[in-house]
Amino acid sequence: MSVHMSPEEFRRHGKQVVDWIADYLACVESYPVMSQVKPGEIRRALPSGPPERGEPFEAVLSDLGRVLMPGVTHWQHPSFFGYFPSNASGPAILGDLLSSGLGVQGMSWVTSPACTELETLVVDWLAELLALPARFRTDAAGGGVIQDSASSASLVALLAALHRAGDGRVADEGVTRRYTLYVSSQTHSSLEKAARIAGLGSVGVRAVRVDPRTLAMDPGHLRTLLAEDAAAGAVPTMVCATVGTTSTTAVDPVAAIGEVCREHGVWLHVDAAYAGVAALCPELRWLNDGVAEYADSYVTNPHKWLLTNFDCTVLWTADRAPLLGALSILPEYLKNTATSVGSVIDYRDWQVPLGRRFRALKLWTVLRWYGAEGLRAHIRKGVELAQELASWIAAEPGFEVREPHPLGLVCFRPVWQELDAADADRATMRLMELLNTSGSMYLTHTRVDGRVELRMAIGGVATERRHVERAWEQIRWEHAALSRTLPGDPEH
């Protein structure tokens, strides 16, 4: 007897799992948003060793519900407002399922031509939807590729930039000079991580000043740093401009930064991980001002706000040659006619790993199910709800809202009149903890200029106006309750 799950068994259990997920999605609101377990609790509830004999699939599903679910923080809960949205829509889940079912490995064109060609197609489609420049297409010198995360994509961009800055010698000779990367205090930490991984070290990461109000990078200071570093013998390699920072969705002035990059011949990478997909809407396309003229590479994450479940990052470059120069290695066991003739794309040379899933399927199912129209409606709804929330907070005595907040994220804090800065920050963190442990909403925090702010990111598939209203109601209520226990309160 075969040990494998037969196609008929798969059919049966597959439908059980689909029912399980449909039920989950239908009642996700009934769970506490944030898992309430203590460290070690889940692990201790499971057998310490692996089973010697196979078990029925139903046993797994039962343990999933009974043991694992209390340890799940529900990112698809309509009242999940933490980090950024990590949308898992129906069509995306099914696209991913098709990818798993086909089980192809798309490292080279020849290992499944459809995997490569659909990927090129959907990243071109997305570039068109976002009005990204023609230079980013494969039929020009550029091209797009799906990666697992913006972290990996930014690392790949840095490697391409190093290849160019080092006149093609870094892949062979290594990092033998002082190559430098330019970010701001608001740039995502993955850029420093990339610099570490690529051998530049944190010392190679130069921090450009930001405008204290908008938190956008100061192009004048960038110019100064680049000139200083070049004069000191460093090789300025890449500038990372961010469109929609993780902390507050600040937008760096890409055009002005690009002008400086051009003066110095430095690679301009644009990290639009969260905000980039908003360019689907013409009224938000200003976000990408300067990208068409100046960007050497650009990254955005359909797996955040664009309804395509993790992992699906798209990286585009205007020049694929340095990227291939940095990453291409062809051992004998991967040689094949199509690759030798050079008539095809082998995406393994556009990324860190060798193997690849058929991830284009889920982006394809999303783009087709929603159409441009449906995608725009989703983005607009998130922006509208966030703007409403911001107006409520701004109108509320005792709270202040951070400007600007052009997208789905609102940063704000209670004023805590009677407390000094450190105590006020502690009180804000305490408020967040009370809200999160209540289980009825989830939000995260950041620090700007040393001071704590709360972040409320709107844009989940299931999030409706009533969830935002209820969250704000609860914030005000918990804030009032907490205020009464603080030293400055007359009743304390």
Residues within window 37-56 making contact with a copy of itself, judged by CB under 8 A: 37, 39-43, 46, 49-55
Q: Does 489 bind a copy of itself (CB under 8 A)?
A: no
Residue closer to a copy of itself (CB basis): 342 or 487: 342
Residues 239-258 that bind a copy of itself (CB under 8 A): 246-247
- Dihedral of alpha carbons 273, 277, 283, 289, sign: positive
Residue 367 Cβ, how far from a copy of itself at the closest point, in Å? Answer: 5
- Dihedral of alpha carbons 412, 416, 419, 425, sign: negative
- C-alpha to C-alpha distance for 272 and 251, rounded to whole angstroms: 9
Q: Which residue is listed with tokens 């995608």?
A: 375
Residue 229 Cβ, how far from a copy of itself at the closest point, in Å? Answer: 14
Residue closer to a copy of itself (CB basis): 176 or 417: 176
Residue 395 Cβ, how far from a copy of itself at the closest point, in Å? Answer: 26
Residues 413-472 that bind a copy of itself (CB under 8 A): 433, 444-447, 455, 461-462
Residue 248 Cβ, how far from a copy of itself at the closest point, in Å? Answer: 10
Among 33, 79, 118, 241, binds a copy of itself (CB under 8 A): 118
One-letter amino acid at 144 equals G
Among 78, 142, 204, 382, binds a copy of itself (CB under 8 A): 204
Q: Does 190 bind a copy of itself (CB under 8 A)?
A: yes
Q: Does 31 bind a copy of itself (CB under 8 A)?
A: no
Span from 261-269, 353-361, 419-427, 480-488 in contact with a copy of itself (CB under 8 A): 353-361
Residue window 296-325: x/- pattern of binding to a copy of itself, with contact defined by CB under 8 A: -------x-----xxx--------------
CA distances from 151 to 154, 155, 300, 315, 470 (A): 5, 6, 11, 11, 34
Extract long-range pairs of 390-399: CB within 8 Å, 24+ residues apart: 392/472, 393/472, 396/476, 398/479, 398/483, 399/479
Residue 394 Cβ, how far from a copy of itself at the closest point, in Å? Answer: 22
Span from 220-228, 357-365, 383-391, 479-487 in contact with a copy of itself (CB under 8 A): 357-365
Residue closer to a copy of itself (CB basis): 173 or 489: 173
Residue 477 Cβ, how far from a copy of itself at the closest point, in Å? Answer: 23
Among 306, 344, 386, 389, binds a copy of itself (CB under 8 A): 344
Three-state secondary structure of the chain = CCCCCCHHHHHHHHHHHHHHHHHHHHHHHHCCCCCCCCCCHHHHCCCCCCCCCCCCHHHHHHHHHHHHHHHCCCCCCCCECCCCCCCCCHHHHHHHHHHHHHCCCCCCHHHCHHHHHHHHHHHHHHHHHCCCCHHHCCCCCCEEEEECCHHHHHHHHHHHHHHHHCCCCHHHHCCCCCEEEEEECCCCHHHHHHHHHCCCCHHHEEEECECCCCCCECHHHHHHHHHHHHHCCCEEEEEEEEECCCCCCCECCHHHHHHHHHHHCCEEEEECCCCHHHHHCHHHHHHHCCHHHHCCEEEECCCCCCCCCCCCEEEEECCHHHHHHHHCCCCHHHCCHHHHHCCCCCHHHHCCCCCCCCCHHHHHHHHHHHHHHHHHHHHHHHHHHHHHHHHHHHCCCCEEECCCCCCCEEEEEECCCCCCHHHHHHHHHHHHHHHHHCCCCECEEEEECCEEEEEEECCCCCCCHHHHHHHHHHHHHHHHHHHHCCCCCCCC
Among 220, 353, 398, 488, binds a copy of itself (CB under 8 A): 353
Which residues share a beta bridge with 390? none
Residue 106 Cβ, how far from a copy of itself at the closest point, in Å? Answer: 9
Residue 284 Cβ, how far from a copy of itself at the closest point, in Å? Answer: 17
Residue 483 Cβ, how far from a copy of itself at the closest point, in Å? Answer: 22
Residue 237 Cβ, how far from a copy of itself at the closest point, in Å? Answer: 12
Residue closer to a copy of itself (CB basis): 446 or 476: 446
Residue 416 Cβ, how far from a copy of itself at the closest point, in Å? Answer: 19
Residue window 207-226: x/- pattern of binding to a copy of itself, with contact defined by CB under 8 A: --------------------
Residue 207 Cβ, how far from a copy of itself at the closest point, in Å? Answer: 13
Among 174, 220, 265, 398, binds a copy of itself (CB under 8 A): 174
Q: Does 135 bind a copy of itself (CB under 8 A)?
A: no
Q: Does 109 bind a copy of itself (CB under 8 A)?
A: yes
Residues 55-94 that bind a copy of itself (CB under 8 A): 55, 57, 59-60, 64, 68-76, 82-83, 86-94
Among 164, 320, 378, 413, binds a copy of itself (CB under 8 A): 378
Q: Does 282 bind a copy of itself (CB under 8 A)?
A: no
